[in-house]
Amino acid sequence: MIRDDRAANEVVGFVLVFSLVLTTVSLVYAAGFAGLDSTRDVERVNNAERAFDVLANNFQQMGRGEAPNRATEIKLADAQLTTTAGREVTINASGMNATGASPVAIRYDTDGNTNIVYEHGAVIRTDGDSAVMRREPDFVFEDGNVVVRFIESRGSGQGVGGSASTVLVRAERRESAVLANRDTTSNVTVRLQTHPDRADVWEAYLNDSLATATGGSPTCSRSTVGNDTVEVVCFDDTADVDRLAVARVRIRVTLT
């Protein structure tokens, strides 16, 4: 008797082909969704960065007296938005006592190693050990002029988080004051406190800014002044400054 194995072979072939198709679909599904998740996370952070740029612009408008209040919408999506304790920034010069402010920082933290911070008027993004100043503060350092407007945001200790939260950062201008307005001074020193992760970008910014204003060669140093706080000090005693003007604008910040 001759056996006919064609039916069995067809079943085995079908099973093998079906298994191959199922495995291929599963791999594509898993890899595709992982890629989509990665793309989504990147876009969320980019959207937050754009929102912080709007936030900085709104604060700048209030600092210049162009608006009494502003509200900025920031989508969290598995992130955390907090207002940290204030860190000091001051400016000294010959014959002038320290003038400064202690604004709180507004910080956006993701589940990964990326965060975005509005601090001392600047927007800084950190990814692991790397930090980049995406937007410089509303300071003027050029042609012998140093003009600084401190935006002193108040309202530390607030925090909002959630997978689908949309937060409004409400800000209201409270008061302003001229702290210094001098012609021809020297030995300009800027002291600025920040988190260690952001010390490099602030040192580079202050060093370049003072060099542009005075045409000299500033000297910068750092020291630890508290838990998670580094003070960056940059000074230039090699050249005079034609004009030094410092103002402070206080703004009340509320996360809702």
Residues 63-75 pLDDT 10s: 999 999 999 999 9
CB-neighbour burial class of residue 3 (10 A; exposed 0-12, middle 13-18, buried 19+): exposed
Q: Count Cα neighbours of 230 within 13 Å in the Cβ-side half-sphere.
A: 14
With a pLDDT cut of 90, the percent of the chain lying above it is 68
* Contact present, 205 and 215 (Cβ < 8 Å): no
Q: What is the DSSP letter of 78?
A: S
In a domain, 47, yes or no: yes
Per the model's pLDDT, the better-predicted residue between 77 and 168 turns out to be 168
Predicted local confidence at residue 101, as pLDDT:
94
Nearest to 228 by CA among 198, 191, 190: 198
Question: What is the SS3 assignment for 42?
Answer: helix
Q: How confident is the model at residue 103 (pLDDT cuts 50, 70, 90)?
A: very high
Beta-strand runs (E) in 136-228: 139-142, 145-154, 159-162, 166-185, 188-194, 219-226
Alpha helix segments (H runs only) across the chain = 6-63, 199-214
In a domain, 158, yes or no: yes
In a domain, 178, yes or no: yes
In a domain, 44, yes or no: yes
CB atoms within 10 A of CB 191: 18
Q: And the tokens for 97?
A: 């006592």
Q: How confident is the model at residue 30 (pLDDT cuts 50, 70, 90)?
A: low
Give tens-digit pLDDT for 196-242. Answer: 999 999 999 999 999 999 988 999 999 999 889 999 999 998 888 99
In a domain, 9, yes or no: no
Q: Give how far Cα 137 sits from Cα of 32, 34, 87, 175, 194, Å.
A: 41, 37, 15, 19, 14
Predicted local confidence at residue 164, as pLDDT:
60
pTM, to two decimals: 0.84
Question: What is the SS3 assignment for 46?
Answer: helix
In a domain, 247, yes or no: yes
Give the C-alpha separation, 224 to 233, whole Å.
11
Domain count across the chain: 1
CA angle 142, 230, 153 (to 5 degrees): 65
Q: Is the pLDDT of residue 124 over 80?
A: yes
Predicted local confidence at residue 43, as pLDDT:
87
Q: How confident is the model at residue 21 (pLDDT cuts 50, 70, 90)?
A: confident
Give tens-digit pLDDT for 89-100. Answer: 999 999 887 889
Q: Is the pLDDT of residue 5 over 60?
A: no
Give tens-digit pLDDT for 131-143. Answer: 999 999 999 999 8
In a domain, 16, yes or no: no
Domain span holding position 160 = 35-255
CB-neighbour burial class of residue 67 (10 A; exposed 0-12, middle 13-18, buried 19+): middle
Q: Is the pLDDT of residue 11 over 80?
A: no
Question: What is the SS3 assignment for 112?
Answer: coil
In a domain, 119, yes or no: yes
